[in-house]
Amino acid sequence: MSEQNETPNINYFNELNSINVAGKIKEIGNTKKLKYLSWAWAWQEVKNKYPDVSYEIVRYENNLPYILDEKTGYLVTTRLTINNITHEMWLPVMDGANKAMRDKPYKYATKNGEKTCEAATMFDINKTIMRCLVKNIAMHGLGLYIYAGEDLPSEPEEIKQPVYRPLNPAEIATIQKMIDKVSEIDPDFSIVTMCEALKVKSLAEIKHNRFNNLISRLTEKLTPEELKEEPKTEGASNE
- Specify the pLDDT at position 26: 79
In this prediction, residue 35 carries a pLDDT of 77
- pLDDT at position 103 is 96
- What is the structure's pLDDT at 219? 84
State the Cα–Cα distance between residues 25 and 214, nearest whole angstrom. Answer: 59
Nearest to 204 by CA among 196, 195, 213, 214: 195
Alpha carbon distance 208, 234 (integer Å) = 13
- Give me the amino acid identity at 21: V
Matching CATH number, 6-147, of 3.30.390, 3.30.420, 3.30.1330, 3.30.310? 3.30.390
Residues facing residue 75 across a β-bridge: 67, 92
DSSP letter (8 states) at residue 97: T
Whole-number pLDDT of residue 3 = 42
Among the listed residues 41, 44, 49, the one whose alpha carbon sits nearest the alpha carbon of residue 82: 49
Rounded CA separation 176/174 (Å): 5
Radius of gyration of the chain (CA): 33
pTM of this structure: 0.57
Q: Which stretches does DSSP call E strand in the chain?
A: 25-28, 34-37, 54-57, 67-69, 73-82, 85-92, 106-110, 113-117
The confidence score (pLDDT) of residue 185 equals 84
Question: pLDDT at position 30, please?
Answer: 62
List of residues 6+ apart from 7 with CB closer than 8 A: none
pLDDT of the residue at 41? 94
Q: Is 39 exposed, middle or buried (0-12, 13-18, 19+ CB in 10 A)?
A: middle
- Please check whether residue 179 is in contact with residue 188, taking contact to mean a CB–CB distance below 8 angstroms: no
Cβ partners under 8 Å of residue 72, min gap 6:
92, 100, 102
Backbone phi, psi, residue 202, to 5°: -155, 170
Q: Where are the domains of the chain?
A: 6-147, 169-228
Is the CB of residue 51 less than 8 Å from the CB of residue 3?
yes
Nearest in space to 120 (alpha carbons), one of 142, 105, 139:
105
Per run of 10 residues, the mean pLDDT along the chain (length 239 residues) is 44 90 76 78 95 96 95 97 96 93 95 93 96 95 79 47 85 89 85 86 88 84 58 45
- Report the pLDDT value the prediction gives residue 47, as an integer from 0 to 100: 96
